[in-house]
Amino acid sequence: MTTMLERSDEMVDKQVRGKYTLEYKLEAVRQVKAGQSGAVVAKVLGIPSSSVANWVRLDAKGQLGAPSASQKARWRSRA
């Protein structure tokens, strides 16, 4: 029988970074802008509150939907 401690050790080893669509991020940001707390939005969506906070911060800077420098470089190399 696996104990809770053993199971949590296994989960740490297999931690996977989440990938979210731009639409998903924008919807989370919209909910925060509408007055919902970031923590509540994160809990309802089942994602880390730090992700929501990062998306809100990036949106305020106008960078949420902007491609990263590495993405731009990849696009240039393919052209």
pLDDT tens over the chain, length 79 residues: 555 555 555 555 666 777 999 999 999 999 999 999 999 999 999 999 999 999 999 999 999 987 777 777 888 888 7
Q: Domain segments of the chain: what residues? A: 18-65
Q: Tell me, what's the pLDDT at 78? A: 81
Q: Is 67 helix (H, G, I), strand (E, B) or coil?
A: coil
For 31, residues 6+ apart whose C-beta sits below 8 A from its C-beta are 41
Q: Tell me, what's the pLDDT at 60? A: 96
Domain 18-65: CATH class, spelled out: mainly alpha
